[in-house]
A and B are shown apart, each in its own frame.
Chain A
Amino acid sequence: MNHAANTETVNATENSFESAKDPVKESSQEITMVEAVNLAMAYEMRMDENVVILGEDVGTNGGVFRATDGLKAEFGLRRVMDTPLAETLIAGITVGMASQGLRPIAEIQFMGFIFATMEHIICHAARLRNRTRGRLSCPMVLRAPFGGGIHAPEHHSESTEAIFAHTAGLRVVVPSSPVRAYGLLLAAIRDPDPVIFLEPKRIYRISKQTIEDNGEALPLDVCFTLREGQDITLISWGAMILETLQAANQLTESGHSVEVIDVATISPLDIDTILSSVKKTGRCVIIHEAAKNCGVGAEISAQISERALLSLQAPIKRVTGYDTIMPYFRNEKYYMPSTKDIVKAAMETLHYE
């Protein structure tokens, strides 16, 4: 079910097909995030024959969002595999492949269908190295589009990254731009341990950036400081970076100096970057689309309280989705945090005495 997604993809599909097919093409190009995902996988598949792709509709169709477009044509059936329609199976065979030294990239079509994979991810992918004291490992990537805002049917809009962040042995990575999608996905594929790579589909095609297809990865396990400032720290990841940056612009216009941190790797968390920022600004708002209760924002907030309480000049605020079920799409805009919500929370934090 991806009506909204498919109708937008025609032009991008053709572009990304060309870029994926031709390795000697001009390496600097303006592309969307979903094209950057495609480009990263194509690059690494050319470099490492152990990299394979599997999932539902990833072959001839190129994935329902076209993330794997053109890859079957270039790398063939044995490396780009349409699986039966069974998410548990996809995760399980990915673990099996990775245990033998392949570097599989599995696509789960939407994060709403990721729950069938969880026994394999939590009980096996995350534990194989630990269980065998390093004899076997699980260098796999599980990719899934996630988050709301594209008017999709039920189960196509949730943000449940915290469930994976709670599991030791995994990395949970969320890009927020084409550049970070390219660099972080390359890093995820090369990482010797399992990575849950969650792609905010609302921003798959919202903007383009110039990317050098040079195979340079970005570091995992670190936050990216997108904007430096003195008065307040805004912390977010994924699609909400868009609204967070818009809020930062408005706050700047009203005379505030705003620092913006893109967490990027949700787990393991780079708390040091967050702490040094909050110690500098003394004020902090955490923004995420996921529900508030036990969300990743709660963990960040707790760690700041434990380690930087005396630097705080105002209580930490969280701007998040509600602790409800994501409404059907007529009302999804009321669920998702807005730029206005972020500005309001930031102003309250800035003016707290």
Chain B
Amino acid sequence: MSNEGRNPELRAQFDINYYQFLDNQGTLKNSLPTYLEDDKLQVALYRQMVLTRLLDAKCIALQRTGKMGTYPSTLGQEAVGVGIGYAMTKQDVFAPYYRDMATQLIRGVKIKDILLCWGGDERGNQSEQTPFDLPCCVPIATQVTHAAGIASAIKIRHEKHAVVSTLGDGATSRGDFAESINLAGAWQLPLVVVINNNQWAISVPREVQTAAQTLAQKGIAGEVRCEQVDGCDVLAVYDAVKRALAHAYEGKGPTLIEAITYRLCDHTTADDATRYSPSDGLKKGWEKEPIKRYRSFLHSKKLWDEHKETALFEQCEQQINTAVQEYLDTEPQPPEAMFDYLYEELPRSLKEQRQQLIDKTREAQP
């Protein structure tokens, strides 16, 4: 389009780049950066995606048999969480939403803790392995604002690491997201925000959520570097987050990444997606899913075979079953524990209520 006759200062042009290495069949479409040409890393990414999927299935089974509470599945979106988890360093801080078990596991959160969290026990968020990461966040998009605050703290303290926060496509409609993106640009924060665009906010499809052609472009108004990646291509996610983090470490500011996936599951175990999700969408979603194509890629590179596959499944099942047993064997906290972390020290006015609860509990016991 001609720019003639316009004030050049009022004109801006935008492009949203889309990144993909592996197509739906697992064929390498673009050459990999050297840091991704690492057999050990490539295999590790696969193993972690498989562990995530098997644990996900176990979580649903535990919920269906009354052994766990409502649980948000990650089926079909494993590459996003695994890509992020491997791209981050230990010093970076993670501010997740609630569909981020994959990244949390890589950060060091134990399977037992994930199960405790969804099994109704706050101790699941106590993870000593992740001293500064936030626990999974239920109110939509608020974690992104906390992440902007953490990134501000890093900048105030002249530190060199960065923050990664995640959210769903629906969460980009919220003020918290927009306000945080605006601040990230204004303050040039070391912040990487990854949208898991799985096409659904419970039952509301992506195209009803916004008229924007991409979700990534929501970064442009805040002068935030932004791009799309194939969220079912673990190499592309890893690469996008790695580049974004490098950018942040160098003090060059924030990045917004839209990872395009498809939710192959219900929103949570309390949802029934057959009420609203067309079956052809689901069929197309399965054609793109991350694990199958990545297995083909590893096979083509002679890094994987059926024998390894069987061994991996056995190993994962054992690891998961051990953790499930630990979870089921964990006694609930005593009732009065609801008072014990309200404040660093329980105010006098609450001590009486705490004692009342203890007395009531004792009376109720035979």
**Residues of A at under 8 Å CB distance from B?**
52, 78-79, 81, 83-84, 86, 88-89, 91-102, 119-120, 123-124, 129-137, 168-169, 192-193, 221, 268-272
Alpha-carbon distance between A193 and B343 when the two chains are bound, in angstroms:
6
- Which residues from A are CB-within-8-Å of B342? 129-130, 168-169
Contact yes or no, A89 B150, CB < 8 A: no
Q: List 7 A-B contacts (CB under 8 A).
A: A88-B175, A88-B179, A102-B153, A133-B126, A134-B341, A136-B135, A169-B342
B152 touches A130 (CB 8 A): no
Contacts of B164 in A (CB 8 A): none
Inter-subunit contact A96/B344 (CB<8 Å): no
* Complex interface: chain A residues within 8 A of B348 (CB): 221, 268, 270, 272
B126 engages A135 (CB within 8 Å): yes
Shortest CB-to-CB span from B113 to chain A, Å, is: 11
The reply to whether B149 and A132 contact each other, CB–CB distance below 8 Å, is: no
Does A78 lie within 8 Å of B156, measured CB to CB?
A: yes
* CB < 8 Å neighbour of B150 from A52, A97, A193: A97
B33 at the interface (CB under 8 A from A): no
A123/B139 in contact, CB under 8 A: yes
> Please, which residues of chain B bring their CB within 8 A of the CB of A99?
132, 134, 146, 149-150
Question: Which residues of chain B are near A134, meaning CB under 8 Å?
Answer: 126, 341
Q: Is the CB of A268 within 8 A of B349?
A: yes
Docked complex Cα distance between A119 and B153 (Å): 21
**Is A133 a contact of B125 with CB atoms below 8 Å?**
yes
Q: How far is B148's CA from A94's CA once the two chains are assembled, in angstroms?
A: 9
Contact A132 B122 (CB under 8 A): yes
Cα distance A120–B145 in the bound complex, in angstroms: 9
The CA-CA distance from A93 to B268 in the complex, in Å, is 29
The residue that A124 contacts in the complex, of B142, B183, B350, with Cβ under 8 A, is: B142
B125 touches A131 (CB 8 A): yes
Partner of B156, one of A79, A92, A133: A79
**Residue B255, interface by CB 8 Å:** no
**Chain B interface size range:** 35 or more
A165 to B93 CA separation, bound complex (whole angstroms): 32
Cβ–Cβ contact A95 & B146, under 8 A: yes
> Which secondary structure dominates chain B's binding surface?
helix
Complex formed: what's the CA distance from A81 to B125 in Å? 31
Given contacts A96-B146, A99-B149, A130 and B180 within 8 Å (CB-CB): no
| Cβ contacts under 8 Å, A92 to chain B | 142, 145-146, 148-149, 176, 179-180
Inter-chain contacts of A123 with B (CB < 8 A): 139, 142
Interface presence of B66 (CB below 8 A): no
Query: A97, B149: Cβ atoms under 8 Å?
Result: yes
Q: How far is the CA of A93 from the CA of B126 in the complex (A)?
A: 22
Is B104 among interface residues, defined by CB-CB distance under 8 A?
no
B347 and A96 contact, CB distance less than 8 A: no
Using A83-B183, A131-B135 as known contacts, say yes or no to A270 and B150 having CB atoms under 8 A apart: no
> Closest B-chain residue to A169, C-beta based?
B342
Q: How far is the CB of B348 from chain A (nearest CB, A)?
A: 7
**C-alpha spacing A3/B95, complex, angstroms:** 41
- Across-interface contacts of B146 in A (CB, < 8 A): 92-93, 95-96, 99, 124
Chain B 124-160 interface residues, beta-carbon cutoff 8 Å to A: 125-128, 131-132, 134-135, 139, 142, 145-156
Q: Is B182 an interface residue (CB 8 A)?
A: yes
Q: Mark B296-318, 1 if CB is under 8 A from A, else 0.
A: 00000000000000000000000
Which among B128, B156, B180, B186 has the highest number of chain A CB atoms within 10 Å? Answer: B156
CB A35 to nearest CB in B, in angstroms, measures 26
Q: CA–CA, A184 to B363, complex, Å? A: 41
Minimal beta-carbon separation of A119 from chain B (angstroms): 6
| A contact residues around B93 at 8 Å (CB) | 100
Q: Closest Cβ of chain A: how far from B333's Cβ, in Å?
A: 9
Interface residue B123 (Cβ < 8 Å from any Cβ of A): yes
Further contacts, 13 of them, CB under 8 A, given A96-B148, A221-B347: A78-B155, A89-B145, A92-B142, A96-B151, A124-B139, A129-B341, A129-B343, A130-B341, A133-B122, A133-B125, A135-B128, A136-B132, A271-B349
Question: Most A CB atoms within 10 A — which of B93, B147, B343, B344?
Answer: B343
Q: Which residues of B contact A97 (CB under 8 A)?
A: 149-150, 152-153, 156
